[in-house]
A and B are shown apart, each in its own frame.
Chain A
Amino acid sequence: MSDISVPAHGLRSRLHRSATDPVNILMLLLLAVLAYLVLWPFIQLTIETLTWSQGDRRLSRDAVPGEFTWFHWLQATTGPLSTKVLYGPLINTMITGIVSTILALLAGGVLAWCVVRSDMPGKRWLQPILTLPYILPSFAIALAWETVFRSPKVGGQPGLFEALLGTAPPEWLSYGAVPISITLAIHYFPFAYLLVAGALATIDSQMEEGALISGAGRLMILRRITFPVVAPAFAAAFILTFGKTIGQFALPFLLGAPTQYHTVATMVYANLALGLDSMAFVLAIVLIAMSLVAIWFSNRFVGKKSRRFETISGKGFRSRTIALGAWRWPVFTAVALFSFTVGILPLILLGVQSVMLIDGFYGLENLTSHFWFGTSNPEIAFGEPGVLHNDIILGATWNTLKLAFISAVIASVVGLVIAYISVRRADNPLARALDQISFIPFLFPTIAFGAMYLTLFAEPVGPIPALYGTFTLLVLISVVSRLPYSVKTGVTAVTQIGKELEEAAELAGAGWGMRFRRIIMPLASSGVLSGMMVSFVGVMRELSLIILLITPSTRVLMTVGFGYAEEGLSQLSNALVLIVAVLTIIGELILMWIGKGKMARLRDKQS
């Protein structure tokens, strides 16, 4: 008897232990919450597209609200407007996505090589400037482009191009595929640059030297060694960049909509504006599908290969820079010019334009500080006061900071907890599921994600109130959209904290909560803090994600700025974008400063 009762007792106590283990409870809780916030919205969105809604009675006599139907899908794929609504935008999205990604990768790749592998001077100064276009709100560059290439043929005042050259720029240069691709490329090349630079930095230069000793020439080494080794990173960067470009909404909208050039993302917005919600949701799903296909491709063809190509590193790793010789200064000049043009010139253009009384008319007598400091004057800009006197804007600034701060803090803490669970309970399938769910928002193009939340919280469900139009909803979606990043930061941080540190505390009798607070949080803090700052800046400049969810009471700077741009009040929108730009740059500087502090502390520890 006793033989049997002992294991039975052991099993029961084990069950009891795992049921009262705070980590397990937290894990189940988070899984449930994330399933509701990540998986369910997608299902809900899909259901919406397959159900008649009230509004559909306008479109079809057969509509029975609440009943199942293929109507929306059929309309999108085979209806009379399918070319305009789906296929055209799909092709446009592919074209601008692929072209801008190729451009971004070319620029990012060349720059990464110069910074990481060559002895180009001035790297320390150029590097932050090179990342500026990505730090700035995406449509800052679109606005700057408009400032130069705006064409009165489409409406509004002439741009700088016409003012200087006396002739209007061709329309293809003002609006449509060309400017969208170029500005997207400018916005995203730093992203590609960072990815490629990361890959280049892990190359053991002895791989090239080995070939050199064999007698291979520079070109042969580049072709047979360097390129193939970074190819997987390039391919991955391609997919990731492409995935980001197709979710971009504001930029293609500003440079495309005036001439009816639509991408899938702008079409989602346009359909929602027309009240064609279901059609917008169909397009959102198409957008998600594009992103999934891209990711699938990358896993299928790049993932396996790159894992196989993993560079093996051991003792004796060397990374040598390659001497440019006589090319040193010419290369520096080219890179410096490029960084100035894409990183600083747009800001100058926006700044100059925001002090022009009459848009498009460049002269000293036209200077005004009205759009910054002026009070309401019915003769200018429909009576909108300057940005620093504008209650809407002050409210939006407050909202922006509040949203960015709260979301960043929550995302970082939750991210750390999820990271902790997935690292420490790596053998638990539920922990792995949690890790994977938290990554899924990364796969949703941002505007599609916003569309999901539009449907999710429209009506109260059980104990959860209707959240549409509330600030809480903005926080929720911002937090969830940052989770893939904050979990990743957290995993890096937790992995570095040895298990023994915690076990020592456990032996001293500390419970899980205490261990997490007193051991994990402090040790992970520097990493998590910089992650928090990244999220703060990221949320602050986010537009596509929340544009569909904003109501007048929850306006943030980016949406107000976009609103002005949409109405053609370019001085005001430029001034606003500049404010956001300054805020994000301050954020980035703090981030760099934190990073330096971390380095200094590490050095102290080592010496």
Chain B
Amino acid sequence: MKHPAFLAFLVSLLWFLFGLSGPLLVWWLAAEGVANPVLLPAPNQVAASVLELFGDGSLATDIMASLRRVFTGFFIASTLAVPLALLMACFLPLRRLFLPLVTVLRPIPPIAWIPLAILWFGLGDKPSYFITALAAFFPIFLNAFAGAADVDPRHVYAARFLGAGRWRMVRHIYLMSALPHIWTGLRIGLGQSWMAVVTAELIAAQSGLGYMIQANRINLETRHVLTGMIVIGVLGALMTTALGWCEKFILPWKHQRQ
């Protein structure tokens, strides 16, 4: 019995690892050349660091702290951004009311909010929730708004001829025809949130991957810093891949086989 999908997965995984092996080799040679583990530890030293940090449980704790902050912020951002975007796309008065604020707030990078976040929320989880939510909000909001504003007028007319009231129109026409855009926004938003959590933790937290990197930098434990960076990269890539797999459940009509 054949498993074409599984085989295809295996092949693409092999290619993926193969693609990484070149840079890994370059890193190894460079580390040999530099011969200074504070400036550039070798891959085997970092591998040892990964085992060490996993072994004492600290890495798992940091990962969980960062993930919690990202998903909480991301959740807050999506529950605010999607409804707000849809309502603004559907109802002109709301659009007029909120668009100026959104336009002015959007160019401010999340990192610029960190001082305020610390003043308002102190240190710990709360300022990080604030920052991760902020980072995810704009990609989600802007994509959802563009999607809903771009709804095909024929769909709106058809729905009105079919007797749809306001709620049905927002829920089944605007939301659903914007869903591919919203999905894009969610994916970008999660990525932004993941990057922002590290920034927030560098400054405003006492745990998490960002904090771990910062603490180890001060102790000149560069191999731990690299471990932190690699974990961030791998987890970010895993999130992206997982979302890619979810897509056929979120947007089934884009994936139906004939």
Q: Do A and B come from one complex?
A: no
Question: Which residue numbers of A lie inside 8 Å of B, CB to CB?
Answer: none
List chain B positions with a Cβ less than 8 A from chain A. Answer: none
